[in-house]
Amino acid sequence: SAVISQKPSRDICQRGTSLTIQCQVDSQVTMMFWYRQQPGQSLTLIATANQGSEATYESGFVIDKFPISRPNLTFSTLTVSNMSPEDSSIYLCSVSRGGVIGTEAFFGQGTRLTVV
Amino acid sequence: QQQVKQSPQSLIVQKGGISIINCAYENTAFDYFPWYQQFPGKGPALLIAIRPDVSEKKEGRFTISFNKSAKQFSLHIMDSQPGDSATYFCAAKYSGAGSYQLTFGKGTKLSVIP
């Protein structure tokens, strides 16, 4: 398994500001993933962060809005920039590890963001 | 394009009953099918997973049934308990080299009432 710590666990932010979310993993991992989960909805992958290279963003997500850093194999940050109320969501950090029958994904507890 | 369709959206089951959640997928390249359980305020946690070379996998009260020809799989929770009340997500993944992305269903909110 993997122990993933996210900070902050929740925040209320003013529109137009930015918030940086931190993700710390208990051991080294190659890939880290950032998801968004809007209230009552499923998980949508924002980007994949590989240490030492630029993050790969999914359709609909851009680096200017969601810049990601990956300075080492156990840490990553996601910044939500120039926030609007539509950015109110739960943001989840995830890592993958090889399991018995396949690659298993593990998630942090999430950061609940409310933009007012 | 939603590649994994999950139903029902919500489910209410009496304690001791069987909870059944269904998923259907479109991409025949998917070869790994996990189920995740999410409690309020927590991240999703892997519950059970299956590969398409078996038709059923059981872990305790949780069973995945898999129908490759129909491209469907389901989660059965036997003897459902109030503590099982959570949101359940099915997912699918292609395990080829360089592929890491999980495709999630929209989730099922399960409520088990005493």
B88-114, pLDDT tens digit by residue? Answer: 999 998 876 666 678 999 999 999 999
Q: Which of A50-64, A82-96, B68-82 has the lowest mean pLDDT?
A: A50-64
Pairing of strands A4-7, A56-57: unpaired
For residue B84, give the 3-state DSSP assignment. helix
Residue B41 to residue A109, Cβ atoms within 8 A: yes
Could you say which of A40, A45, A92 has the minimum Cβ distance to residue B43?
Answer: A92
Report whether pLDDT(B1) > 60: no
- Please state the rounded mean pLDDT for residues A98-115: 85
pLDDT of residue B57: 96
**Measured over all CA atoms, what is the biggest interatomic distance in chain B, rounded to whole angstroms?**
46
Using an 8 Å Cβ cutoff, are B110 and B13 in contact?
Answer: yes
- Please state the rounded mean pLDDT for residues A95-114: 84
What is the chain B residue with the closest CA to A5?
B43
pLDDT of residue A2: 84
A55 and chain B in contact, CB less than 8 A: no
- Please state the rounded mean pLDDT for residues A10-36: 95
B33-65, pLDDT tens digit by residue? Answer: 999 999 998 999 999 999 989 999 999 999 999
